[in-house]
Structure 1
Amino acid sequence: MTATETATRLIRDTAELFAAEPALSSLFGYDPSSVSDIPRLFASVLSACLPEGTARQSVRKLAEKVFRDDTQAVDAALTDLAATAARDIDPGGMAGALHFAHGYHVLMAYRLTNALWRRGRHSLSLAVKGQFTRTLGADIMPQARIGRGVWLDHGLGVVIGQTAVIEDDVSLWHGVTLGSTLADRGERRHPWLCRGATIGAGAVILGGIEIGAGAVVAAGAVVTHPVPAGELVAGPRAELRERRPGGFQGFVPTDRIGRE
């Protein structure tokens, strides 16, 4: 199915979804009969994640303009949607996933803020990210690089740092952290998840390490070392270790800020 065919079907299926349950129009704050293209549809759904008010209307207008101008973001979002509909056991197909899959809304918010960041609108990108972080309960830095066909199941509690890289077809459950060790410096402080990796709920992956293609990180695992392609890692290991010079020694106390 071509991108044009996918868009046409999604708009049609959305109209049928709302016709079957008229109350959806008031819940999402838009009438699908007024939507004729994907940028407006995506903007309408994404902005509905925010409380009613000025911010929602501003984000709707901004998102429509960004999605209309940035085909990279739209193409990635459509591929994410197809992956979400395919991997999610809930019914409704792509139209259902678009409106009801919380994890997909988290990804849509990232697609918007990342597009803004790539266009040099850094302050606006971070401000919009803050709005969605408060309402969606997930925090993805707009500088992170996320491929296509990514699935966030539930999406709640997901934290993805600035230099993280997620390749195509990766799946992440709720509560996943892709963070730094605080000792890492430079351009690669956060994990790199290779194509097709699966990260279980509550997993914590720290540092500029690579999780190989098709690898599985089990729920609750704490990972600080690379994982080879196709392998499975499981279990938390918190061991007492010597604090070495050059490692993280704590943040500067407030009474010394600006003096060093």
Structure 2
Amino acid sequence: MAEASIMASDSLWHAIRGEAQRAAAADPVFGAALAGAILAHDDFAAALADLIGRRLGGSAAARARFTAFTSDAFREQPDLIEAASRDLQTIAIRDPAVVGLLPPLLHFKGYVALEAWRVSNRLWIRGHADAALLFQNEASNALQVSIHPAARIGSSVYLDHATGIVIGANVVIGDDVTILQNVSIGRRGELPTRSPRIGRGVFIGAGATVLGDIRVGDFARIGAASVVTSDVPDGCTAVGNPARLTNCPAQAPAA
């Protein structure tokens, strides 16, 4: 799937249902699960709301509550489901091990955690802090991904492997960012300092830590296990502990 082929949510849903129908026909045992998770729903929003409820709700009542919160959010703010559509397609674009849209939708917990965060962020902005923090807490418990509702995250974001990811309050993450497992992004120390701002197209390797009032520029790369506490210019790579800059784009000579 190429970047230019990003589909709107309606077209995405048609593609997902087609994959589900073919998978159910090929594997009748798996088909029973697909019937409830995909084929029973009328659109992508309903299927995703049900999936979030299933993954976060430890009981039937909790599942119904999370599903209802999510359904309401998608109905009242349709751009959330369009962002979810772009996030899902981004996984198929960036991950060479992924074939189709159905596997990451059903099985990639980073995707579910990110879409649950989108709902929690909406609740937070609307003043429903307790409900927003409930989403964060259950996503942390069930999925090992903790994203504060006050963070700001763009679209086409990929949380790859997605175990041990922590994103703190007021962190800003741009579009087209990829974050691997065991990454922490947040404030530095106990003082109420600003949180990191992560630019567009950034790649953050496994085990990296990004802290403090800093900016990671567009298309920068953070190496695995690096500790970044200073700005990273656009296009540079930061590696090591403490991180040092390498592979920075050559600057044009002054006129």
2:101 aligned counterpart, secondary structure: helix
- The equivalent residue for 1:197 is 202
Partner of 1:43: 49
Deviates more, 1:211-220 or 1:28-37: 28-37
Q: Which residue of 2 aligns with 1:226?
A: 231
| Shift, 1:26, TM fit | 6.0
Structure 1 counterpart of 2:20, which letter? T
Residues 115-173 of structure 1: CA deviation (Å, up to 9, x unaligned): 22223222111112211211001110011000010011011100001110000001110
Structure 1 residue 216 displacement after superposition: 0.5
Q: Does 1:86 align with 2:82?
A: no
Q: Which runs of 5+ in 1 are unaligned?
A: 239-260
1:7 has 2:7 as partner = no
Change (3 A) 1:17 1:67: farther
Find the aligned partners of 1:127 and 1:33 in 2 and give their Cα distance.
Answer: 29
Cα deviation, residue 178, structure 1: 0.4
- Residue 222 of structure 2 corresponds to 217
Question: Structure 1 residue 167 and structure 2 residue 168: aligned?
Answer: no
* Code of the aligned partner of 2:136: K
Moved more, 11-20 or 189-198: 11-20
Q: Deviations over 1:196-237 (max 9, x none)?
A: 010000000000200011111000000000001111111113
Classify the secondary structure of the residue corresponding to 2:45.
helix
- Does the 8 A contact of 2:110 with 2:158 survive in 1? yes
1:182 and 1:47 mapped to 2: Cα distance?
35
CA distance in structure 2 between the partners assigned to 1:102 and 1:129 by the alignment: 14
Which residue matches 1:242?
none
Residue 129 in structure 1 maps to residue 130 in structure 2: no
Equivalent position of 1:181 in the other structure: 188
Find the aligned partners of 1:62 and 1:22 in 2 and give their Cα distance: 32
Shifted more, 115-124 versus 160-169: the winner is 115-124
**Displacement, 1:182?**
2.0
Question: How many percent of aligned residue pairs carry the same amino acid?
Answer: 32
Offset at residue 31 of structure 1 (A):
4.8
Change in Cα spacing, 1:153 to 1:30, as seen in structure 2 (3 Å) is same
RMSD: 2.1
CA contact (8 A) 1:200 1:220 kept: yes
Conserved? CA contact 1:77–1:108, under 8 Å: yes
Which residue, 100, 107, 126 being the options, matches 1:100? 107
Q: What are the residue-to-residue correspondences of 1:225-244 with 2, within 5 Å?
A: 225-237=230-242
Higher mean alpha-carbon deviation, 91-100 vs 166-175, is at: 91-100
- Normalised to the residue count of structure 1, the TM-score between the two structures is 0.83
Contact kept in structure 2, 1:221 and 1:233, CA below 8 Å = yes
- Decide whether aligned partners of structure 1 residues 99 and 170 sit closer, same or farther in structure 2, where only a CA change above 3 A counts: same
Match for residue 144 of structure 1 among 139, 151, 166? 151
Query: Is the contact between residue 214 and residue 231 of structure 2 (CA under 8 Å) also seen in structure 1?
Result: yes
2:12 is aligned with 1:33: no
In the superposition, the TM-score normalised over structure 2's length comes to 0.85
Aligned-residue offset at 1:27: 5.5
Residue 159 of structure 1: SS of its match in structure 2? strand
Q: Secondary structure of 1:49's partner?
A: helix
* Gap change, CA 1:214 and 1:41, over 3 Å in 2: same
Other structure's SS at 2:36 match? coil
* Structure 2, unaligned runs of 5 or more: 244-255
Q: Which deviates further from its counterpart, 16-25 or 209-218?
A: 16-25
> What is the distance in 2 between the residues matched to 1:79 and 1:102?
16
Indicate conservation of the 8 Å contact 2:214/2:229, yes or no.
yes
Matched positions, count: 236
Indicate how the Cα distance of structure 1 residues 54 and 202 shifts in structure 2: closer, same or farther if over 3 A, else same. Answer: same
